[in-house]
Amino acid sequence: MTTWDQDALISPPIRPIGGPSEHPTVNPIANQSIRLGIMASGSGSNFEAIVQAIHSGQLNAEVPILIYNNPTATVVERAKRLGIPSICLDHRQFATRELLDQAIVEVLLSYQVDWVVMAGWMRIVTPVLIHAFPNRVLNIHPSLLPSFKGSKAIEQAFESGVKITGCTVHHVVTEVDSGDIVMQAAVPVLTNDTLETLQARLQIQEHKIYPVAIAIAVGQRISEN
């Protein structure tokens, strides 16, 4: 059976195949630190991966605020443990998506955020948010875009019978899951996979590429230590 070198299936590659370092870092002197406003709706594993990448020096950034929209989302527990301020903007309390996004923008601006990072944000955003941070809103989607856009992307891929799926970091535009691609990682769909096992392997790659994709998008130089 053919084995996969998962690092070889990341584009652009995180490091040259056979390179000396598993985790690239950014040069903190050559790169200006950025302020990331992170938005999440669920458990927040990508949120934590980003914060840990900052702590390890992989990404020269800080996270002054986490916004979540689901009062029961467990991401808030991660935020408390990591010492990140958080605020809940329950979408059910807003009459329209635009009013929710306006409230989000006000919070992000009050924390002087440079870039917006959607890390499992399960709401379609509107031009209110996109235009407030032009070309500075990122999202991660659990498929190899442009395939399997929208909700339940893992289920779509699983049920379609494809042998390769993956995850994509992309810029957010008004058309869902259609912005310019920053980075992708491919993940094989194994014959004995379930939705749960496939999702678990996808998350491993999401956690690996999202911090690097953020660094690429904001123009930070990746060091191969």
**So where are the chain's domains?**
30-223
Residue with tokens 């678990």: 200
Cα separation, 59 vs 64, whole angstroms:
15
Report the percentage of the chain scoring pLDDT > 70.
87
The label of the residue with tokens 């395939």 reads 147
Indicate the fold that domain 30-223 takes in CATH: Rossmann fold (3.40.50)
Which residue do the tokens 């689901």 mark? Answer: 70
Question: pLDDT tens-digit profile of 45-86?
Answer: 999 999 999 999 989 999 999 999 999 999 999 999 999 999
* Cα 222 to Cα 202: distance, rounded to the nearest angstrom: 23
Q: Please pick, among 23, 55, 141, 171, the residue that the annotation labels catalytic.
A: 141
* pLDDT digits 0-9 by tens, 94-133: 999 999 999 999 999 999 999 999 999 999 999 999 999 9
Residue 141 annotated among the catalytic residues of the structure: yes
pTM reported for the whole predicted model:
0.88
User: What average pLDDT does range 129-143 have in this prediction?
Assistant: 97
Band of the pLDDT at 13, cuts 50, 70, 90? Answer: confident
